[in-house]
Amino acid sequence: MKEFYIIAATGCPTGIAHTYMAQEALEQAAKKAGVKIKVETHGQIGIENELTDEDIKLADAVIIAADKDVHAERFINKKIIDVSVSQGIKNAEKLIADAIAGKGEIHYSAESEKVEETKTEKNGNKIGHKIYKDLMNGVSHMLPFVVGGGVLVALSFLWGIYSAEPGNVEYNQFAATLKDIGGLSMGAMVPILSAYIAESIAKRPGLVAGFVGGLIASNGGAGFLGGIVSGFLAGYVIVLLGKVFAKLPKELDGLKAIFLFPVIGVFITGLAMHFLVSPMNAVNESMMDFLAGFQGSSPIVLGIIVGCMCAFDMGGPVNKAAYVTGTALLAQGNFYFMAGVSAACIAPPLITGVASLLYGKYFDPNDRNAGLVNIILGSTHITEGAIPFAAKDPLRVLPIMMLGSSIAAVLTYIFKVQVPAPHGGFLVLPIVTGKLAWLGSILAGSVVGGILLGELQKRKSRK
């Protein structure tokens, strides 16, 4: 008798932690259920453990646990269970059981080789998840540009704040070159975001229209909000054009891809963005000014907002909203906002580490070891390591994480710390303005949160 065979694909926006945590959870759940599984990962370094045509042909079920595009159109005539990457981590055993039970929907048919709208996709949650996946596909491709460019710009400040200005006594040719290179990388942020949102919606034909729309948004000052609008606009313009030209002879498919879609898609998207860029610019600037305004007037309120957002879903959409806002402000030369975001993102895994160190005997060996590993993850700005702790008792653990992150962010804003790099954790400490204040702020939030988490675990253990 043929062994039941499941194939899966996992991917998260950053491609650092969630992707591989979901892979491990699904593999362990499949082993426990006694079925065979192969999990393809879409991480930041690319596709690993890639599914072959033979794998897809032999598969009895498909699980997609991803918040980005994983090329699901490959799975023709296969029942697909499509969930967020966090569900792949939290509910791996249920997903495997559902796959064995034959649950899921066929989204792609051999006849049309196009997405078929299914009953489940009419569900609001499914539509919302699709929009989120399209958005996160853009964010995941944008992040390397932001991180690479941001760190290079930050390194240029090692020679002085004005080291890239030729007329200043601090001017240094190498520092100026670093800042120019980093600035170009950061400048590509919005076009790349827009291009890959459109690519997620309309595949490769959407890429060029999305990129051009993103350039218009970036040059017009509409920022990342404009990039999001242009990405979705370009993607659906190409989808609409596909329907309009659907009845053209098959022989003209090449003409559609290389001529009709790029020319008409770029024209419609560009023309629409030409009119949208001004109001989007006003909205973008208002939002940035609103958040940045809290820095001086109400650092406590801003710190609480940022802390709660970053710790609420640790790598999810709420966390990413704060992070993307921070990177956008960073590109505008505001290094204060990102300091609080970084502190709030670093704190949750450190909280679990502190709890494991001070209250180790109340945790089981796996959690204790995970907490110690989280000290390393947190120190490098990887928030996702705290998810397993929160998943076990979210109603009590998440408020503790949010409190610890809020303390770290509030203190960071009070001390007016500046962090000119969007990622890296303590690795970017040499270029932080207010190093000791930043470290102290993060440690304060982590210790308070760690003690509360430890006391919670102590009570649960005694019961």
The set of catalytic residues is 12
C-alpha torsion 358→363→368→370, nearest 10: -120
Yes or no: say if 329 and 339 are a contact pair by the CB < 8 Å rule.
no
What is the rounded CA–CA span in Å between residue 46 and residue 63?
Answer: 19
154 within 8 A of 333, measured Cβ to Cβ: no
Q: Would you give the end-to-end CA distance of the chain in angstroms?
A: 47
Beta bridge partners of 82: 64
CA distance to 67, 189, 261, 428, 430, per residue, from 425 (Å): 24, 21, 42, 6, 11
Residue 60: count other Cβ atoms within 10 Å of its Cβ: 17
| C-alpha to C-alpha distance for 245 and 225, rounded to whole angstroms | 30
Structural contact between residues 159 and 170, judged by C-beta atoms closer than 8 angstroms:
yes
Angle in degrees, 0-180, between the axes of helices 317-331 and 261-297, rounded to the nearest 10:
90
How far apart are the C-alpha atoms of 14 and 26, rounded to whole Å?
A: 19
Element (H, E) at 5: strand 5-11
Residue 298 makes CB contacts below 8 A (sequence gap 6+) with none
Polymer length of the chain: 463
Assigned token pair, 11: 């991917």
With vertex at residue 85, the alpha carbon angle to CA 453 and CA 329, rounded to the nearest 5 degrees, is 75
In three-state secondary structure terms, 209 is helix
Helix (H) / strand (E) containing 48: strand 46-48
Token pair belonging to 351: 């909280």
16: amino acid identity, one letter: I
Residue where the block lists tokens 């003209």: 252
Neighbours of 159 (CB within 10 A): 18
> What is the radius of gyration, based on Cα positions, of the chain?
23
- State the greatest distance between any 2 C-alpha atoms of the chain, in Å, as a whole number: 78
**Are 291 and 336 within 8 A, CB to CB?**
no
